[in-house]
Structure formats: structure tokens, C-alpha cells
Amino acid sequence: MKKVNDSKRTYMLITIPILALFVCFNTVPLIRGVIYSFTNFKGFGTYDFVGFRNYMDLFTDPRIGGSYLFTIKLAVAATIVTNVISLILALGLNSRIKGKTFLRAAYFVPNVLGALVVGYIFQYLFTYILPGLGDALGIEALQGSMLSNSKTAWIAIVIVCAWQSIAMNTIIYISGLQTVPEDVYEAGDLDGATGWKKFRYLTFPLIIPFFTINMVLCVKNFLMVFDQIMAMTKGGPEQSTESISYLIYNNGLSGGSFGYQSANAVVFFIVIVAISVAQMTISSKKEEQL
């Protein structure tokens, strides 16, 4: 009985501080943010409750609509690029090649670097290195900075987001590929399955849970993109790369629209949860079918 009581006491001593920190730094700010979304709070001073006015204004604000369209476009493009390249790399790194341990470590390096650091490095690359290279080689398409063009700036951000995210996704796919039994491939060889057919009918159905994890994480992370935009474009040119997270930060904390952007944050939270739940539901149904 004494050992049971000691175990419970230890469990409580570990759990309670963590729970208190979570409530203090996560739950309480979340609740306060929801409350502020019903006010005209500017981030300082007094404020009045305005009901659902902030939420109604969100649906008529073209800047909000533009940021949602850009963010969704970025998330879809970056998710596709990241998962396609990650899966190809994982298949290669999981095969019998020399030095694959070193290559796995090398491919994981981008994930270790901070997003802001990576953003500033690529900002310099797109602004000075590539245009200089384009001038030297006479390639007109590279002579101008991608970040200064509203039609190409988002592509540069997709490249940076994908470059840094591929590392973790590749590791997850490798973990999934290593769970596939060799017996499956041996049976496939007997049936004459090779190349694409082996991947489509044997490998991919068995790694769908890992594919689901990567898809959900990618969409969530890319919808919340902030650091890369902060470092590379600051929402420009002409607000063409203004993500929802950056807009909430820029207008809420710096622009004096804290209450309005709190409403935007609440709606954004609901959108992310809805998309994640939809992804999990669709993937679960596919797993059941297989």
C-alpha cells in the first residue's frame, strides 16, 4: 500500500507542475484571446465589447480573404512538393546503398536549423546570388529577384518551406518503409510485381498511416507559416505573400487591431482543426478499405 501511495505522489508531483504550466501559458491565453475577439481592444488601454462585429467584418475584409487564399495555396503546393520529394528520398535511403547512414544525417540538417535563419539565408540567395548568377550566365529569368515579383515570391517561399520540411518527412517515411515485412516483397516478386506496381500495390498501402501523419503535419505547419515570410518578404510585395499568421501578428500586435485579429485567430484555429479532422477521417476510411 505504501508503494502505491508513493507512486501516486510521484505521479502527482510530476503531472501537476506540467499541467499548471500548460494552463498558464496555453489555456489562459487562449481563453483571453477568445474574449478579446468580442471587443475593440487595441492591445493597450480600455476596450468595449462589440459582440460579433469583428467576426462579421472578417467576411467582408478583402485583405483577410487574400491572406486566406495565399495561405491555402501555399499549404497545398508545399505539402505536395514536400511529400513527393520526401517519399522519393526515403525510398532511395531505405534501399541498399553505401553511406546511407551519413546521407540520412545530412538530409536531416535543414530541420535542425532555425526557420528564421534559413529564411534570411534564402532571402540573400534570392536577392543577390541568383540574380548575379543570372547576369553572369545571361539567363534572363534569373536576373530579377523572385521576392520582388508578386507572381513569383510565393514560389520562393514554397521552396524554402519544402526544403526545411523534407528532412523530418523523409525520416518518418523511412520509419514506415522499415515496418514493411520482406515477405511482402518476396510474394510480390513471385507474382511478377516490379517497379511502380510494387510501390503502388505493396509498399504504399502499408505505409499509409505514415503518409497520413506527414500530410496532417505538413498542412498544419504550412497553414501556420510565419518565420519564412517574416525573414524573406514581410508580406510583400503588395501584400501578395501575407499569410494569416503574419497578418494576425502584424495588424494585431503592431497595428492596433488586437481584438479584430483575435477574432481572425479564432476563426483560423477552427479552420485548422476542421481541415486536420477531415484529413484524419478520409485517411482512416482509406486505411479501412485497404
pLDDT digits (tens, 9 = 90+) for 246-279: 999 988 877 778 999 999 999 999 999 999 888 8
How confident is the model over 170-186, as pLDDT tens digits?
989 988 888 888 777 77
**Structure confidence at residue 274 (pLDDT):** 92
CA distance 255 to 30: 20
Question: pTM here?
Answer: 0.87
Residues 59-69 have a mean pLDDT of 92
Q: Looking at residue 141, what is its pLDDT? A: 75
Residue 169 pLDDT:
92
Bridge partners, 49 (sequence order): 39
Residue 229 burial (CB count, 10 A):
28
Domain locations along the chain:
62-289
Q: Predicted confidence band at 34 (pLDDT cuts at 50, 70, 90)?
A: very high
| 197-237 pLDDT, tens digit each | 778 888 888 888 899 899 989 999 999 999 999 999 999 88
Q: Which amino acid is at 244?
A: I
Q: What is the pLDDT of residue 289?
A: 65
User: Averaged over 124-139, what is the pLDDT?
Assistant: 88
Q: CATH number for the 62-289 domain, one of 1.10.10.10, 1.10.3720.10, 3.40.50.1220, 3.30.420.40?
A: 1.10.3720.10
Does the pLDDT value for residue 287 go beyond 70? no
| pLDDT confidence of residue 106 | 75
pLDDT at 2: 55
- Report residue 178: phi and psi, to 5°: -75, -10
Percentage of residues of the chain with pLDDT beyond 70: 93
Q: How far apart are the first and last CA of the chain?
A: 48
Angle of CA points 239, 269, 18, to nearest 5°: 125
Output the pLDDT for position 155. Answer: 93
What is the SS3 assignment for 112? Answer: helix
Could you report the per-residue pLDDT of 79-129, keeping only the tens digit for each? Answer: 999 999 999 988 888 877 776 677 777 777 777 888 888 999 999 999 999
- Supply the pLDDT for residue 11: 78
Q: Is the pLDDT of residue 134 over 60?
A: yes
CA-angle at 112, arms to 111 and 117, nearest 5°: 90
Task: Average the pLDDT over 39-51 and give the result.
Answer: 87
Q: What is the model's pLDDT at position 290?
A: 60
Q: In DSSP terms, which residues pair with 39 in a beta bridge?
A: 49
Q: What was the pLDDT predicted at 54?
A: 92
| Residue type, position 139, single letter | I
Residue 136's pLDDT band (cuts 50, 70, 90): confident
